[in-house]
Amino acid sequence: MPYIEWDNSLSVGVEVIDEQHMRIVDYINEIHDTLHAPMTVSDREERVMQVVNSAIDYTESHFDFEEDMLEKVNYPYLKAHTRVHQLFVRRIHDYKTRLENGEDIARELMDTLMHWLLNHIRSEDKNYAKWMSGTDERSLP
């Protein structure tokens, strides 16, 4: 059984984006697996590295996609949103560096991805979904 599952509270109401966000759920489950399933230390390190590399590729392409989409709809908070994305990418790169230096970052990476899913996706991404559907009642900056 997976550690966490996608549910509708995570949906931003844009299907293609939801599908991309589901990858984060997969990464969390993979990392969780490396922490709990029996395996050798080197297998574990290898699998964690695979997740880190996939997460880097994924976040960079997913964020580009999201930012392009938000630019097209003139999302007024795009700049702040992009800044949050950049910090996250930097953070994942830091994990990679630490992992390469022999540090065990699996638990921390899992917590970070979890936090991202429950905070960024469930609130900040939902804000743009409201904007896109015209139900954002906040005034423009």
Pick between residue 85 and residue 106 the one whose CB is nearest to Fe ion. 85
Helices (H), the chain: 15-36, 41-72, 78-100, 106-115, 125-133
Pick between residue 30 and residue 125 the one whose CB is nearest to Fe ion. 125
φ/ψ (deg, to 5) at 57: -60, -45
Kindly state whether residue 30 participates in binding Fe ion, applying the rule CB under 5 A. no
Rounded-to-integer distance, Cα 81 and Cα 120, Å: 9
Contacts of 102 (CB under 8 A, 6+ apart): none
Pick between residue 32 and residue 81 the one whose CB is nearest to Fe ion. 81
11-19, 30-38, 119-127, 132-140 -> range binding Fe ion (CB under 5 A): 119-127
30-38, 52-60, 102-110, 118-126 -> range binding Fe ion (CB under 5 A): 118-126
Rounded-to-integer distance, Cα 120 and Cα 114, Å: 10
Residue whose C-beta lies closest to Fe ion:
125
Kindly state whether residue 125 participates in binding Fe ion, applying the rule CB under 5 A. yes
Q: How large is the C-alpha radius of gyration of the chain?
A: 16
Would you give the binding string for Fe ion spanning residues 76-115, x where CB under 5 A is met?
----------------------------------------
